[in-house]
Structure 1
Amino acid sequence: MTSTAIGPPVQLAESVASGPLLGRWGTVASPGALISILAHPDRALSLPSLRGESPLRALERVRERAEAERGSSWAQPLATQYARYFQDGDRTVYEGGVFARQERLTRAVLMAAAIGSDEWLAEAADGIVLLCEQSSWCWPAHEESCRSRGTVLPDPAAPCLDLGAGDVAAQLAWADHMLGERLDERFPGLRDRLRAEVRWRVLEPFTRRRDWHWLGLDGRVHNWCPWICGNVLVAALRLAEPGAERALQVALAIEGVDRYLAALPGDGSVDEGYEYWWNGACRALEALDVLEYATSGKLSAVNVPVVRETVRFPYRMHLGGAWYVNFADARALPPAEQPWHVPHRWARRIGDPDGVRHAAAHRAETVAPSAELGRALSELADTTWLEAGPAEPPLVASAWLPGTQVGVARTARGTERGLTLAVKGGHNAENHNHNDVGSVVIAVDGVPAVADAGRPTYTAQTFGPDRYAIWTMQSGWHNVPEVRGTPQGQGASFAAGDVAVVDGPDAFQMRLDLAGAYPVEGLERWWRTARLDREAGSVRIEDSWAFTDAGPPSEVRFLLAGQVRREAPGQVTVRPPGGGRAAVLSWNPERAVGSLAERELDDPTLIAVWGDRLTRLRLELPGTASGSVLVHVEVRP
């Protein structure tokens, strides 16, 4: 495919605003310097050997899946599936076919590299050609031109660079890296086609356009930036010709990762939630691994403070088992098969034994059949990871992350048993935001009983103008007050105030004023105090308010997961999903009238986490000018 350039390539400004990377590396990361320090494309990416006993054993599940599907028809994404996003909002059917195609190609490449047969090489070549002939690598939810043109199908002449396009470019680069010479022998011309497609669809748009929203040049940086920039980095290192243009592509990718890291708070926390750490901060770590290898260690980020801190974020958010703190769009029970070798390797490098233990505790014996190609190859190249023994997660006693105003504390370090409390301040314009300022999560033996529902299946509505019509995004379905019939407002101005944390050996307490989150006239203060008492093994959630005068009643609401039963006036028990011990919530029924209402779930994403229902506890408060209510939570013996 040929392309027509639109204007000259972008040039980096002489003085780019430096983040934690460029501030440390300086001109060494400039395009001029990169020309001389970047390895040749044949040596720019690591080349793991897949022929040994350990890699073959790690590929056992990949091989089983690959052998089962070889000879069958490849997934074929259809125009009718693409169009559905613009017609009825469904994005999962088309994306499912795209993901199935790419996952099958990854398995074929791994088998062709590990076993070396012509049959697997042909399977990989088929997958590469299918991707090259796919009309667009952009997912329909991200296509920027359809609505303006009044169409429901992408324009191949105007490729859109999104997460999907970046993923394909990097996958093709890794496939070329692993199979290049053999592809030349068996399918001459295929590698030229592959390079032309990546250049036209990804590398040229990346260098010639600086108006991509995900670059964060407007100051709003999120996980797309390191995700796409990391994939472009891989594609440029392997598939671009050595010289000034390749160096510019790499420099721009570095600048993007640097901008993302600069946007993270110093504590390394991620406002999108733990689940999104894997496709934000973890993507940045992977890009830094690639960059360090391609520059023979001249560009290393191992001593960058925010990088070291974000490596700790996953285990700070761990509740127990497969459960995690899940504010924002994250799920409390996220996918377990993640590239755990990445935080394991980085924890080893920064000397963090808790991070090493936490990652090792989640290690699977084999590579996931759905793993991305680059991530699978990185895992297979890490012999220390492949040989890591079993470990117990650290389950830290407490963590306070002021950058996102999230606090987590458990009854005792190193054990799931007992209560774990998580509290969130923040504001209502965070990335993947829910209106949830002041919300809490309370887990019993590592499983949420007072829960955050998370998000339902992605549709066109999820990131559209009607996002907050989705019930899981509204404050009324989070563990926060409803103030005189008014939910929380949406936007950065609706935020927690006067946040104070006390973290000691006997107790963890977080106190914050929620008044700023509610557009209610006459509301002066709404103090929420959440306290975990380790000696008593209990949690106390106290709400106190001050208005200029009396008015309509308010409510405090709690979303309960599992089996819920009213024990007596002022008391309910909650047995979390999976059984186990129950939590007892109690309050003074003379101060607050409680009621329960079940919400049946019909969304597969929510059902996969919570089962068929959640229950909302509503505590009606008097409309007095001032007052308070205390909810006490303990574990049923």
Structure 2
Amino acid sequence: MTAPSLPAPDVTARSLWAGPSVAGALAPALAAADAERGTPWPQPLASQYARFFRDGVRTVYEAQVAARQARLTRATLAALVDPSDERVDEVVDGVLLLCEQSSWCWAAHDDTFDRFGRITPTVTEPYLDLGAGEVAAQLGWVDHLLGPALDERAPGVRWRVRQEAQARVLRPFTERRDWWWLGVDHPIMNWSPWIQGNVLAANLVLEEDPDRRRATSALVAEGIAAYWASLPDDGGVDEGYHYWWQGAARALEAQDLLAFAGIEPAPEALARIRATVAFPHAMHLGGDWYVNVADGAARPLATWPWNVVHAWALRVGDEAAARHTASYRGRPGGLFDERASLPRAVGLLTGSWADAPAAAPPLVGRSVFPSTGVAVARSAPGSARGVAVSVKGGHNDENHNHVDVGSVIVALDGVPVVVDAGKPTYRAGTFGPDRYDLWVVRGDWHNVPRVRGVEQAPGPEFAARAFEVSDDGADGADETDGADRTGGTDAGPAAGWRARVDLAGAYPVGGLEHWWRDVRLDPGAETVTVEDSWEFAPAASGDPAGPTAWHWLLAGDVTLTPGRAVVGFAPDGTPDGSTPRTLALTWDVADVDAELDVRALDDPELSAVWGEHLTRLRLTARAEAQSGAFRVTMRPTGSGSQEVA
């Protein structure tokens, strides 16, 4: 067997794995591991795999796969703490179940049906996707961490792991170089670092030929460098905060493994790393809430590996990013989340992160990423108290795209109340030709207008024509474009703030010359105003396809009265523990008719964030004008606010 070749101590490091800090952090996971030992393992079935090809359901099979791997992770951690025979046997059972699983690829990604017309895996033609990479990395880490115990208790298991990893992942990666996620006839996106980082982990520990190991590491280094080169200079990510963790963060993890293998990033890659490290805290609203765009959740459903970002923030000298990551050290369970994958779990339990002191998050006052057309501002820099607003420009063909040019999110006291619904549960149609039939993706369920009966359209040509950000409400383009190398963040004074975006290009509406969306933040009054002004060419004054309507998607409870809607949403309270307030949206009743559309949430991923429902406030214009303007004002109500409910 090869020497230990992953950056963490193995089971023989008893002072670490048998120490009180690890045992304490792992207590819930160890209890779960002991409780499930001796019970049947989760069993992915052929009928569950086939469902994706039959009726589009992918979650049943993937849930079984995820449950099996989560149990193996818990079993591995338990065996590290106490490598008793029964605990090592549990690991061996999980490892062999994975080795005997027909495919490590998720059905939704497999090309078996397209190539062969089959609805079960083609074992002789393994497809290298996210799922296959995850299994290979997990088995590599199990082998590294428990190698001595496995050799003593179950000789031959590690040989089997190597055979399967070679056939399913390592050889397909090196021998087939037309994988689309490498950027072959497809833009590079988050799959590339996610898969390649996992391939690298498997390679470093499971590839016994040193020449092949070096060659595979070099291929991964090229791929990760290509990913960094694909990111904009300002560190923006069009997939948003959620997929930052499955893209940029995956690349950071891969870069750490490359460094362990003796390969450091080039200076140009380091510049992109420095910029993107600032992205998570730039999107922070307060507590666990973040600005979300595309297929992103506003509140993460699991703990992310903050240790990775913390280490890179210290390396590149980003004090604000380091503070933001360290704020998670002060939370209950902040050291370890049992839902983490095995590689991420080990990283959270070892290294400098385990001893990092807690800190308060920076809660920056201004963030802007011109490359993706995303800007965020808050009324009270350094505090979750007050209002925060984000505006999105961009275009309607981004990665994990939603139809949302010009969409606005507003948070009150760190909790979003004017919202983007975010990520749905994925199924067959989510990424097919019917994607834009999904309500959660359509423009009508984002905070953008329907212009003369026409929704925004998907496609790269449907884009913002201009995107401008300035302080003090002054006209002019964004002053930080290309100037702030920390990713466009600036704590800044609590000055007035303004963002303007021309939405006209996002609508297939003839004669629409301009549709300016002007978003202003008055910090002292804790007030956000959104004013739309438009102009049509004279020849476009014929009958419209339907009425113009403004949509505002609201979380929580909504009360509608003439010219006013009041919304309250704080499912877990406010981040600073203050009494939850409500937000009032007001408008001129002479301009529009107002209605509420309640959308019950039967999607578990959406309801986990927003509860049982979301409500759309629909403001429909009473008349169509060649040019005009319409304004909605948002401010808190109740004690301490400018307006009393």
TM-score (norm 1): 0.90
The answer to whether the Cα contact below 8 Å between 1:543 and 1:628 also exists between their aligned partners in 2 is yes
CA separation of 1:361/1:336 partners in 2, compared to 1, >3 Å: closer, same or farther?
farther
Give the match's secondary structure for 2:431: coil
| Native 8 Å contact 2:112 2:119 kept in 1 | no
CA contact (8 A) 1:440 1:479 kept: yes
1:540-555 aligned at under 5 Å gives the runs 540-549=529-538, 550-551=541-542, 552=544, 553-555=547-549
Q: How many Å separate the matches in 1 of 2:258 and 2:8? A: 11
1:544-581 Cα distance to aligned partner (Å, 9 max, x none):
111113343312211111111113x2111111242721
Q: Which residue of 2 aligns with 1:556?
A: 550
Q: Structure 1 residues 301, 118: CA separation in 2 closer, same or farther (over 3 Å shift)? A: farther
| Deviation, structure 1 residue 352 | 2.1
The question of 1:368 aligning with 2:334 is answered: no
Report the AA paired with residue 628 of structure 1.
A
- The answer as to 2:384 corresponding to 1:406 is no
- State the 4+ residue runs in structure 1 displaced beyond 3 angstroms: 43-46, 297-303
Match of 1:223 among 176, 186, 190: 190
Cα pair 2:112 2:120 within 8 Å, conserved: no
Displacement of 1:43: 3.6
1:83 aligns with 50
- In the alignment, is the contact (CA less than 8 A) between 1:554 and 1:623 conserved in 2? yes
Partner of residue 459 from structure 1, selected from 413, 427, 435? 427
Q: Quick one: distance in 2 between partners of 1:379 and 1:600?
A: 37
Aligned pair partner of 1:322 in 288, 291, 298 = 288
Q: Which residue of 2 is the match for residue 570 of structure 1? A: 563
Q: Does the 8 A contact of 2:255 with 2:264 survive in 1?
A: no
Contact in 2 for aligned 1:404/1:425 (Cα 8 Å): yes
1:13 paired residue number: none
Amino acid at match of 2:558: V
Residue matched to 2:484: none
2 CA distance for matches of 1:502 and 1:323?
25
1:158-169 matches, cutoff 5 A: 158-169=125-136
CA distance in 2 between counterparts of 1:619 and 1:374 reads 49
Return the offset for 1:524: 0.7
Out of 316, 319, 335, the residue aligned to residue 353 of structure 1 is: 319
Q: Distance in 1 between matches of 2:513 and 2:264?
A: 55
Q: What SS is found at the alignment partner of 2:440?
A: helix
Instruction: Confirm or deny: 8 A CA contact 1:65 1:369 kept in the other structure.
Output: no
1:179 aligns with 2:146: yes
Aligned to 1:340: 306
Alignment partners' CA distance in 1, 2:93 and 2:302: 30
Q: CA deviation at 1:411?
A: 0.5
- Match of 2:589? 589
**How far, CA to CA, are the matches of 1:282 and 1:559 in structure 2?**
30
Matched, 1:532 2:521: yes
The one-letter amino acid of 1:234's match is A
Q: 1:563 to 1:362 in 2, by over 3 A?
A: same
- AA at the equivalent of 1:455: K
Matches within 5 A, 1:407-556: 407-503=375-471, 505=493, 506-549=495-538, 550-551=541-542, 552=544, 553-556=547-550
Aligned to 1:114: 81
How many angstroms apart in 2 are the aligned matches of 1:241 and 1:380? 28
Q: Deviations over 1:444-468 (max 9, x none)?
A: 1111111111122111111111011
Give the secondary-structure state (helix, strand or coil) at the position aligned to 1:542.
strand
1:605 aligns with 2:576: no
| Residue aligning to 2:629 | 628
User: Secondary structure of the equivalent of 1:540?
Assistant: strand
Deviation sequence 1:407-465 (CA, Å, 0-9, x none): 00000111111110010000011000000000000011111111111122111111111
Structure 2 vs 1, CA of residues 332 and 298 (structure 1 numbering), >3 Å: closer, same or farther?
closer
Query: Structure 1: how far apart are the matches of 2:22 and 2:209?
Result: 32
> Any idea what the Cα deviations from partners look like across 1:565-616, whole Å, max 9, x if unmatched?
113x211111124272111111112223322222222222211111222111
Instruction: Tell me the residue number matched to 1:202.
Output: 169
Give 5+ residue unaligned stretches, structure 1.
Answer: 1-39
The answer to whether the Cα contact below 8 Å between 2:396 and 2:404 also exists between their aligned partners in 1 is yes
Listed as ranges, the gaps of 5+ residues in structure 2 are 473-492, 574-579
Q: Does the 8 Å contact 1:58/1:367 carry over to 2?
A: yes
| Contact 2:379/2:523 (8 A) holds in 1 | yes
Do the aligned partners of 1:41 and 1:237 also contact (CA within 8 Å) in 2? no
In structure 2, distance between residues paired with 1:232 and 1:465: 31
Q: Residue 454 of structure 1 contacts residue 606 of structure 1 at CA under 8 Å; is this kept in 2?
A: yes
CA distance, structure 2, for counterparts of residue 482 and residue 299 of structure 1: 46
The count of corresponding residues between Structure 1 and Structure 2 is 595
**Cα distance between partner residues in 2 of 1:405 and 1:561:** 24
- Given candidates 30, 35, 51, the residue that maps to 1:63 is 30
Cα pair distance change 1:365/1:490, threshold 3 Å: closer
Is the 1:441–1:451 contact (alpha carbons within 8 Å) kept by the matching residues of 2?
Answer: yes
Does the 8 A contact of 1:236 with 1:249 survive in 2? yes
Distance 1:305 1:533 in 2: 34
- What residue number does 2:214 align with? 247
Structure-2 separation of matches of 1:343 and 1:240:
28
Q: Which residue of 1 aligns with 2:615?
A: 615
Cα contact 1:509–1:532 (8 A) shared by 2: yes
Equivalence for 1:42: 4
Identify the match of residue 289 of structure 1 among 230, 237, 256: 256
Give the letter for the 2:366 counterpart.
Answer: S
Residue type matched to 1:555 in 2? Answer: A
| Offset from partner CA, 1:181-208 (integer Å, 9 cap, x none) | 3222222221111101000000111111
C-alpha separation between the residues in 2 aligned to 1:390 and 1:85? 44
Distance 1:112 1:634, change over 3 A: same
SS in 1 for 2:430: coil
Whole-angstrom CA distance in 2 between matches of 1:298 and 1:611: 45
The one-letter code matched in structure 1 to 2:287 is G
Q: Is the 1:45–1:237 contact (alpha carbons within 8 Å) kept by the matching residues of 2?
A: no
The equivalent of 1:105 in structure 2 is: 72
The CA deviation at 1:88 is: 1.5
Aligned 8 A contact 2:378 2:389 in 1: yes
Q: Which amino acid in 1 is paired with 2:68?
A: R
Verify the 8 A CA contact 1:592 1:629 in the aligned structure 2.
no
Larger deviation: 367-376 or 196-205?
Answer: 367-376
Residue 279 of structure 1 corresponds to: 246
Q: TM-score, normalised by structure 2?
A: 0.89
1:112-145 per-position Cα deviation (integer Å, ceiling 9, x unaligned): 2221212211111111111100000000100112
Per-residue deviation at 1:367?
2.1
| Residue 336 of structure 1: how far off its partner (Å) | 3.8
The answer to whether the 8 A contact 1:301-1:307 is kept is: no
Separation in structure 2 between the aligned mates of residue 558 and residue 511 of structure 1, nearest angstrom: 18
What does the per-residue CA deviation read over 1:142-161, in whole Å, with 9 as the maximum and x for residues that have no partner?
01122342221111111000
Q: Distance in 1 between matches of 2:387 and 2:566?
A: 14
Shift of 1:300: 7.5
Q: Displacement of 1:298 after TM fit?
A: 5.1
Report if the CA contact (8 A) 1:479-1:556 is conserved: yes
How large is the Cα RMSD of the aligned pairs?
1.7
**8 A contact 2:448–2:551 mirrored in 1:** yes
Q: Deviations over 1:320-362 (max 9, x none)?
A: 1111111101011222411121112222222222222212222
